[in-house]
Amino acid sequence: MTSTRRAGPARPLLIAALLILAAALAAALLRPRPATTSTPAPQTTSQASPAATAASGTLPARVMDARVVAVPPGIRETSVFATLRSTGDADVRLTEVSSPAAGHAMLMVTRTQDNMTGMSMTDALTLPAGGTLTLSDTADHLMLMDLREPLQPGQTIPITLTDDQGRTLTIQAPVVKP
């Protein structure tokens, strides 16, 4: 019997394995949503307001300084940073991110606990009413996974944010060197 076990640096492999696991989890979470064109969940049917029945609208936010970090060929995931400024008078709960450049995308939080900093997926990022949400490498951010093509600096990537009311905002984010 031959053993395929290899000795080697375990840590990069572990990190890679964790990233793949996170990607697989995200894919599993995103997949069950059926792509049928049924009407959106009628949570607010008692309201007669036409705004409540609109399938979508534009998120009340302005986006500044959006950028996608260029990655070397072979790397299939990257981060997206930006500053979102609320133009509305209610908190916005961002629950989804997508891009045609990526197989899927994730909302991420970075947290430091016991002097260890790590990032993890989150179900939602909140843009506070009248405030800002900073997406950066040391804070909340977005990640594009399963990149379909290598990203070249100078390219512009569309990224769509969706909130829990189905409102969307598409950012045109330039690819920049890290």
Question: What separation in angstroms does the CA of 81 have from each of 11, 14, 40, 68, 164?
Answer: 27, 26, 30, 7, 21
Cβ nearer to Cu ion, comparing 119 with 133:
119
Cβ nearer to Cu ion, comparing 93 with 111:
111
Cβ nearer to Cu ion, comparing 97 with 108:
108
The answer to whether the beta carbons of residues 145 and 106 sit under 8 Å apart is yes
3-state helix, strand, coil in the chain (%, to 5): 15, 40, 45
Closest approach of Cu ion to the CB of residue 137, in Å: 8
Euclidean distance between CA atoms 92 and 86, whole angstroms:
8
Closest approach of Cu ion to the CB of residue 77, in Å: 8
Please give the residues from 6 up to 65 whose contact with Cu ion meets the rule CB under 5 A. Answer: none
Reduced to 3 states (helix: H, G, I; strand: E, B; else coil), residue 20 is helix
Q: Does 145 interact with Cu ion (rule: CB under 5 A)?
A: no
- Residue from 119, 125, 144, 171 that binds Cu ion (CB under 5 A)? 119
Query: Could you tell me which of 30, 33, 32, 31 has the C-alpha nearest to residue 41?
Result: 33
Closest approach of Cu ion to the CB of residue 119, in Å: 4
Cβ nearer to Cu ion, comparing 60 with 143:
143
Query: Which residues here bind Cu ion, judged by CB under 5 A?
Result: 108, 119, 143
